[in-house]
């Protein structure tokens, strides 16, 4: 694993530990509520008008609330389990040092798929009968089941790959090429740091982040300014950050303009 992949794995493990802790807490709360409820005889109603009515109602409310906390804690455990399962499934991150290589591999797969679909459609147009079309598609490497699926006219009443399928794949090709270009340009970035009165501004090439650092917690209006321009607090970096790209630099310039008015 590279450093990014190790961080991802550590993140997954943190979520899994959190889910495990929450499940244990949910079980404890559920057992506590069950023990509380077991004191009340089965079917025992509240004795309306009796001196014990108020205390009984409050006790039953505590039981109800404790069960509610148990179920809410279980829901949180499910949430963190889902977060753990989703780590690494969001595509290729720009923070991954191997992102360019992985994107180039993905680009090659998309380009191969585009040519494969175009070749299949050309063969279908060339051969006029379903039998010859099926044989031609199998000759180019499809299984019989795959070829029959491609030849199924479907909802548009025509065999082969639809224009929107080629258009969508071509759009993905352009998107991946653009990301590769952006990351290759970003690889030329160098770290820049400037002391600017109440804050430090940094373009961190290694972290791939634009950063604002403050000596202490910024005032509420400063935090609101940062958030309004897409900056988020990063406890691990001790800074307000967003991605290091042209949009990030533009947003940082607007923030700096406002901050410098007060310095």
Whether 92 maps to a domain, the answer reads no
**Average pLDDT over the chain, rounded to an integer:** 91
Report pLDDT digits (tens) over 138-192: 999 999 999 999 998 876 678 999 999 999 999 999 999 999 998 888 778 789 9
Same-domain status, 171 and 197? no
Which domain does 106 fall in, by range? 99-185
Of the candidates 13, 58, 60, 23, which has an alpha carbon nearest to the alpha carbon of residue 38? Answer: 60
Half-sphere exposure of 16 (CA within 13 A, CB side): 10
Same-domain status, 80 and 64? yes
Of 159, 185, 211, which closes a domain? Answer: 185
Same-domain status, 104 and 153? yes
Same-domain status, 68 and 133? no
Same-domain status, 144 and 172? yes
Contact status, residue 209 vs residue 242, Cβ threshold 8 Å: yes
Whether 91 maps to a domain, the answer reads no
Report pLDDT digits (tens) over 31-67: 999 999 999 887 888 888 888 889 889 999 999 999 9
pLDDT band at residue 6 under the 50/70/90 scheme? confident
Same-domain status, 172 and 106? yes
Whether 129 maps to a domain, the answer reads yes
pTM of the predicted model as reported, rounded to 2 decimal places = 0.61
Same-domain status, 33 and 54? yes
In this structure, the number of other CB atoms found within 10 A of the CB of residue 240 comes to 26
2/216: higher pLDDT = 216
Domain count, the chain: 3
Of 162, 185, 208, which closes a domain? Answer: 185
């Amino acid at each position: 694993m590279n450093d990014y992949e190790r961080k991802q794995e550590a993140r997954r493990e943190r979520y899994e530990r959190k889910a495990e802790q929450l499940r244990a807490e949910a079980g404890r709360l559920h057992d506590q509520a069950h023990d509380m409820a077991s004191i009340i005889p089965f079917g025992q109603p509240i004795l309306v008008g009796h001196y014990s009515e108020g205390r009984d109602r409050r006790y039953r409310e505590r039981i109800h609330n404790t069960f509610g906390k148990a179920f809410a804690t279980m829901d949180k455990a499910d949430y963190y389990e889902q977060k753990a399962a989703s780590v690494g499934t969001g595509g290729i991150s720009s923070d991954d040092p191997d992102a360019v290589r992985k994107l180039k591999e993905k680009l090659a797969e998309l380009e191969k798929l585009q040519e494969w679909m175009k070749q299949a459609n050309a063969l279908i147009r060339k051969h006029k009968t379903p039998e010859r079309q099926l044989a031609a598609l199998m000759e180019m490497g499809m299984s019989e089941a795959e070829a029959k699926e491609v030849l199924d006219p479907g909802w548009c009443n025509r065999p082969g790959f639809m224009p929107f399928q080629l258009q969508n794949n071509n759009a993905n090709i352009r998107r991946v090429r653009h990301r590769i270009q952006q990351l290759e340009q970003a690889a030329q970035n160098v770290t820049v740091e400037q002391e600017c009165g109440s804050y430090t501004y940094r373009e961190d090439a290694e972290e791939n982040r634009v950063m604002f650092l403050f000596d202490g917690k910024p005032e509420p209006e400063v935090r609101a300014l940062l958030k309004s321009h897409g900056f988020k607090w990063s406890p691990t970096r001790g800074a307000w950050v967003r991605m290091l790209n042209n949009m990030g630099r533009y947003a940082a310039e607007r923030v700096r303009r406002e901050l410098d008015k007060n310095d």
